[in-house]
Structure 1
Amino acid sequence: MRKLLKIMLILCAVCLLAGCRDNRSAASAPAGAEHAGLYVDGTQLKTAEGEPVVLRGINHAHCWYRTSDETAFAAIADTGANCIRIVCACGIQWDSDTAESVAEAIERARQLGMLAIVEVHDGTGDNSIDTLKKIAEFWCGIADVFEGTEDHCILNIANEWCGKRSADIWRDGYTTVIPMLREAGIKNVIMVDAPGWGQFGRAAAKAGVDIFESDPDRNTMFSVHMYGLSGGSKRRIRRNLTASTDRNLCVCVGEFGYKHSDGDVKEDYLMQYCEEQNIGYLAWSWKGNSGGVEYLDLANEWDGSVLSADWGETVINGEYGIRATSKPVIAAGSP
């Protein structure tokens, strides 16, 4: 009897675990399909011509330091970065960007040979789907900006929306807003940050395929931010990324530091693992950090003439850093 009870308890536990995971895999892009620009094909991001793209880039706080854009963009391009993640605002917390300011930032990146990844920062840590909808409405309102940028711009809808480690809230929010963006005519690759302030990458095991399949274009990728919680050990780094790749979903590390308020980060291993697995990474951030996290500045000067010894030198000049591993995606000044 005890043996039978033990077996039944084990079976119940297995069933409960199965209910927390989605063992489906996302479908890859149809063979021979034509694409207007960048597109997602299984675990890979590709150019319109079908060449794999591995993101190697840096975050820049555009919406707080707009007057430094010209200097910062040029300096980031000089590191060899093939992309730049551009922090924008929609007016919920900070002065809103406009269609003109977003278009200018995207074009500045293109002229310097970098893909532009634009995101709105106002919903950081927010759990309200209404907030996410307001951010989506901002993008829909400037949808014309994205026309013709499909080969050099990715839309990272909202930075770290959904502070809770909840795959359900995360799924419900993004399955609501992604169709809105497509209905507005935006054809670019969409990037979705993980919940849990971007660090709960394992949520993709439960809800990633649902979010991917809510996109009528099946052109959505995912991003995990790696600080102490998600990047504090080799095992956590792998688990937070394989939650996506094991389900044939494309993922990158959209932000990471070498330490943060929640602990140390295994940044050397993170960069090595990303290089070995052809996974993109973007370091946080070029300059302008404050409030006790100034150590996350990669550069001590906006022009990059002096890099921070503990952080900037590692990301840019390290063994698995940007200079050693970045490959161009678009040519500077390309039409």
Structure 2
Amino acid sequence: MKKRLSKGILSTLVFMLAMYGWAGLTGQASAATGFYVSGTKLYDSTGKPFVMRGVNHSHTWFKNDLNAAIPAIAKTGANTVRIVLSNGVQYTRDDVNSVKNIISLVNQNKMIAVLEVHDATGKDDYASLDAAINYWISIKDALIGKEDRVIVNIANEWYGTWNGSAWADGYKQAIPKLRNAGIKNTLIVDAAGWGQYPQSIVDYGQSVFAADSLKNTVFSIHMYEYAGGTDAMVKANMEGVLNKGLPLIIGEFGGQHTNGDVDELAIMRYGQQKGVGWLAWSWYGNNSDLSYLDLATGPNGSLTTFGNTVVNDTNGIKATSKKAGIFQ
């Protein structure tokens, strides 16, 4: 009897090792095929928590600057760069080959690429969101197999109105369509209200997350004057989402904006305390009335005052950014 029991235990152990690997039994996370979500955290394909520290780059409006901008961004120590793309509805389309080239260059510079479609910004109609979905499906050859280094931000600031219910209804249709097309990359969903209505995530984020068959969706707040204007606002908005058990990043933030100040130091400080990733807007090229949002003076230019804060502050990129496991 004792001998049989020992064999049974041994067989069980062998089975567990075959299924989960030695790493899983020693407390180390097993390797995965790509980024994945667990609780409020995003993990890379090596099983390490991944906290985004980086910037936005307005590629679709400055297509010729890619080879200068990406290495310059990498020199800041950024582990992530969010790339503005177009599906051709409002701006010049970025085709599959150009997207493959972007991914390759970002990868060579040891950063994770977050790709976003900008043409649906501020729009409320489902057709605009669906056009973004169709774009991702049309370029899925650039995404499939790159789940360990490419994250898909479905549509920049889709749903401009502060209406969480309608926002959620849209994404509950959109996400299954992406998954059914075979796109398995981690997804990012921006809050309603031009990204500045975090209550939409608090109220309806769990239902949107449940619509993802892979349970691999991260939510994003864009922190300008209405979502990140004060220390208390920043803290409350981050905690509101995290307390719902949902993963969060700050997909955009500035130091000020059209209708008021933004507490960028609070965003970086609480981001560090709470393990929330952030991506500052934007590397360069903002309109003259928004030039204070420029982090650099050009694609490979010197840092501006705002850029110096984002890169060199105590809670900035250089002090807090850790590369994804595939690059270590």
TM-score normalised per structure 2:
0.89
Q: Is the 8 A contact 1:203 1:243 kept in 2?
A: no
Structure in which a larger fraction of residues adopt helix: 2
Report the CA distance shift for 1:145/1:164 in structure 2 as closer, same or farther (over 3 A). same
CA deviation string 1:161-185 (max 9, x = no partner): 0001110111011001000100110
Q: Is the 8 A contact 1:164 1:197 kept in 2?
A: yes
Counterpart pick for 2:304 among 305, 308, 314: 308
Q: How many residues of Structure 1 are paired with residues of Structure 2 in the alignment?
A: 301
Q: Which amino acid aligns with 2:282?
A: S
1:36 Cα deviation (Å)?
1.1
2:132: which partner in 1?
135
1:220: which partner in 2?
217
Q: Distance in 1 between matches of 2:300 and 2:325?
A: 22
Q: Which amino acid aligns with 2:217?
A: T
Report the CA distance shift for 1:276/1:307 in structure 2 as closer, same or farther (over 3 A). same
Q: Which amino acid aligns with 2:304?
A: S
Structure 2 residues not aligned, in runs of 5+: 1-26
Structure 1 residues not aligned, in runs of 5+: 1-30
Q: Which amino acid aligns with 1:102?
A: V
Counterpart pick for 2:89 among 79, 88, 92: 92
2:268: which partner in 1?
271
TM-score normalised per structure 1:
0.87
1:130 Cα deviation (Å)?
1.2
Q: Which amino acid aligns with 1:160?
A: E
SS of match in other structure, 2:175: helix
SS of match in other structure, 1:58: strand
Q: Which amino acid aligns with 2:314?
A: E
SS of match in other structure, 2:33: coil
2:60: which partner in 1?
63
Q: Distance in 1 between matches of 2:259 and 2:219?
A: 22
Counterpart pick for 2:319 among 315, 320, 324: 324
CA deviation string 1:95-119 (max 9, x = no partner): 1110111111111111100000000
Percent of aligned pairs with the same amino acid: 42
2:240: which partner in 1?
243
Q: Distance in 2 between matches of 1:259 and 1:50?
A: 36
2:253: which partner in 1?
256
Q: Which amino acid aligns with 2:295?
A: L
Q: Which amino acid aligns with 1:325?
A: T
1:233 Cα deviation (Å)?
1.1
Q: Which amino acid aligns with 2:121?
A: T
RMSD between superposed Cα atoms in Å: 1.5
SS of match in other structure, 1:255: strand
SS of match in other structure, 1:73: helix
Q: Distance in 1 between matches of 2:31 and 2:48?
A: 13
Q: Distance in 1 between matches of 2:199 and 2:131?
A: 26
Report the CA distance shift for 1:130/1:137 in structure 2 as closer, same or farther (over 3 A). same
Q: Distance in 2 between matches of 1:182 and 1:173?
A: 15
